[in-house]
Amino acid sequence: MPQTFDPATERADLPFFPMARAAGCPFDPPPEARAGQQEDPLRRVRLWDGSTPWLVTGHAEQRTLLADPRVSSDPDRPGYPSSVPRDPGGSSISFILMDDPEHARLRRMVTAPFAIKRVRALRPAVQKIVDGLIDDMLAGPKPADLVEAFALPVPSLVICELLGVPYTDHGFFQSKSSTIIKRDAAPEQRFAASQALSAYLDALMGDKLDRPGDDLLSGLAERVRAGELTRGEAAQMGVLLLIAGHETTANMIALGTLALLEHPDQLAILRETDDRAVVASAVEELLRYLNITHNGRRRVALEDIAIAGRLIRAGEGVILANDVGNRDPRVFPEPDRLDLRRDARRHVAFGFGVHQCLGQPLARLELEVVYGTLYRRVPTLRLATELERVPFKHDGSVYGVYELPVTW
């Protein structure tokens, strides 16, 4: 008989989620979040609003639930375990927060530009961007902030080119995005940032309707003209792609570099190889090990679901902690060891199921070019401060570093 749970009597004893990382272990998920992973991969936690969703920590249980159509990504459903107060204006970031068939209808409209073959053709352009930024950094003053000089511009330039967003606006969209994903930003600030970015994408959509170019947003404008999509839907898709397209990869570049600098034997593997397969496998391991989307995938059950001896009732929230899933020893032996030579391909850093990351071929390409170039071109790259002084993004829904002072 699956066990149930009585929130009225048991709520107070529950651990608060998200938990804090242990001091001195900036790359490991919070120890408290990992408790019971083997024997009890589903347990209750308490959120900022007093709600008590399930926290799922087992890798297998996460994949099962993420692939289950009985769980919903719609934050407007009662019981959805929101990480922050919801915008009363109701703005929500496109299809990442929708269920099928609406989700599939919108996602299908942008799958072609992210298909593996199309993305692979971008390699020379990405390589040129990476080389140019390294040239500029080397010609500039030391120490440099790797985030500002390199980690943020690489994916921002790439996604701007792909979408048809002017890169000259990067200061604006980077600052709005970072406010939107900051968990402890004041709600009003977050709503304002979200509205500003929506208005910006809406205006851009107006330009693309008037003067279409050869870019993804112009492709969406074409669909608006054909009546397949409203202008508002197109603008919200632009917001999603612009935020997802630069924030995540930027954090993987900076945090990945820091992790490698802290593991010199692993860094040496990348510095000494020109084998693309070795670099590609290193990308998977860094994605697994760092799992920057550290707030968990959020869902709500639409029906009762029995799993791992527990019963999730319809209307209960579920948080799939993919950072913890990626450290499940049943799937990854010695999970806390950064081992660029392991086969890490079963990681859930890009999620799983219908919402699995749309941009993963692009993220992989950018990371392959970056990890395959930066340490070979700057073999003496090192941290220009102590690890303890590096400002980590504990307060964001995407983990990383705010700054990374480096020298060479």
Interacting residues toward ligand HEM by CB under 6 A: 95-96, 107, 240-241, 244-245, 248-249, 252, 292-293, 297, 349-351, 355, 357-359, 362-363
Tell me how far, at minimum, the Cβ of 170 lies from ligand HEM, in Å. 15
Q: Give the residues across from 300 on adjacent strands.
A: 72, 317
Q: What secondary structure does DSSP assign to 233-299, as a single string?
A: HHHHHHHHHHHHHHHHHHHHHHHHHHHHHT-HHHHHHHHT---HHHHHHHHHHHHHHH-S-TT-EEE
Residue 408: alpha-carbon gap to chain centroid: 29
Minimum distance of ligand HEM from residue 86's CB (angstroms): 16
The distance of closest approach from Cβ of residue 80 to ligand HEM in the complex, given in angstroms and rounded to an integer, is 12
Q: Kindly state the smallest distance separating residue 95's Cβ from ligand HEM, in Å.
A: 5
Distance, in Å, from the CA atom of 101 to the CA atom of 120, rounded to the nearest integer, reads 29
**Alpha helices in 70-186, H assignment, sequence order:** 102-108, 116-120, 123-139, 146, 153-163, 170-180
Of residues 112 and 138, the one with the C-beta less far from ligand HEM: 112
Compute the distance between CA of residue 181 and CA of residue 202 in angstroms, rounded to an integer: 20
Give the closest residue to 106 by CA, choosing from 88, 87, 92, 86. 92
Given the complex with ligand HEM, which of 5 and 322 has the nearer CB atom?
322
For ligand HEM, the closer of residues 95 and 289 by Cβ is 95
Pairwise CA distance, residues 377 & 380, whole Å = 9
**C-alpha dihedral sign at 49, 55, 335, 374:** negative
Closest C-alpha among 393, 396, 394 to residue 147: 393
The residue number with the shortest CB distance to ligand HEM is 359
C-beta closer to ligand HEM: residue 5 or 368: 368
Least Cβ distance, residue 65 to ligand HEM (angstroms): 11
Say whether 55 sits in a helix, a strand or coil. Answer: strand
Q: Which is nearer to ligand HEM, 102 or 184 (CB)?
A: 102
Residue 121 dihedral angles phi and psi, to the nearest 5°: -65, -15
Backbone dihedral angles phi then psi of residue 215, each to the nearest 5 degrees: -145, 170
Shortest Å distance, C-beta 298 to ligand HEM: 7
Q: Which is nearer to ligand HEM, 11 or 86 (CB)?
A: 86
State in angstroms the smallest separation of the CB of 253 from ligand HEM. 9
Reply yes or no: is the peptide bond before residue 18 cis, omega within 30 of 0. Answer: yes
Q: Are 236 and 109 in contact (CB under 8 A)?
A: no
Closer by beta carbon to ligand HEM, 5 or else 130: 130
Nearest-CA neighbor of 105 among 242, 228, 202? 228
Residue 300 beta carbon to ligand HEM: minimum distance, rounded to whole angstroms? 12
Please, which residue, 5 or 259, has the CB nearer to ligand HEM? Answer: 259
